[in-house]
Amino acid sequence: MVGFNDGVPEKQTILAHLRTAKDTIPRFQIVLVDTNVNDPNSQDGLRGLKVAQVKLIFASSVLTQHGQKTSDISTQEPSERILAYVEWFSTPLKEPHQDMQMYAVSRLCYANGWPKGAVIPLTSIVQPCYLLPRFKGPTAVALDTRADGSVMQVTGDNCLDLVDDFWINSFQDQFTYQTVF
């Protein structure tokens, strides 16, 4: 992924790290995805970008057909053969929260509770995106209490699994601020 610092490209790492015996905390990074990379119009804030959590990064020289849906991923360029499985968040509203200047997003799920996901070319990922949990209503109170009455702490390591509503942290760094606004 490429960012800019004083006009110089800067590489950024995207994490998609599964739980292992040595590292019991999985890490799946949130990213901004340009769903229409070939659009000749310049990017304007979050318009045209989607928020997703990267769950898996893999390479494929053969793309398969699943059901009636076929992938529109071009395999002409070798870099386009590197793919990512992502789980989607809602499209950010057109305007940020009036006081916080942050955009709200929520995890997208099917009626059965499974997350909505897709396979995308890694080249469509614009940059990492940092989310802050958005606690609202009685859900926030019940969030840290388990069924047996014990208390579960919400941390940076588990909040993406426990919370469904988030704020896009527009102020994480200069590149994110420039992208969002």
User: Which domain does 94 fall in, by range?
Assistant: 2-180
Percent of the chain beyond pLDDT 70? 64
> Does residue 77 sit in helix, strand or coil?
coil
User: How many structural domains does the chain have?
Assistant: 1
Give the integer Cα–Cα distance in Å for 59 and 82.
4
Convert the pLDDT of each residue in 21-61 to its tens digit: 887 777 888 898 987 766 666 566 677 789 999 998 888 76
As a whole number of Å, the end-to-end CA separation of the chain is 19
pLDDT at residue 67, rounded to an integer: 45
Other C-beta atoms lying within 10 Å of the C-beta of residue 127: 19
What's the mean pLDDT when you consider all of the chain? 75
pLDDT of residue 127: 84
CB within 8 A of 84, min separation 6: which ones?
14, 16, 54, 55, 56, 57, 58, 119, 120, 121, 122, 125
Q: Look-up: residue for tokens 């069924």?
A: 147
d(CA 153, CA 46): 32
pLDDT tens digits, 117-151: 999 988 888 888 888 888 776 655 556 666 677 76
Q: What share of the chain is helix, strand, coil (3-state, %, to 5)?
A: 15, 35, 50
**Beta-carbon count within 10 A of 160 CB:** 19
Reading the block at residue 77, the tokens are 């360029």
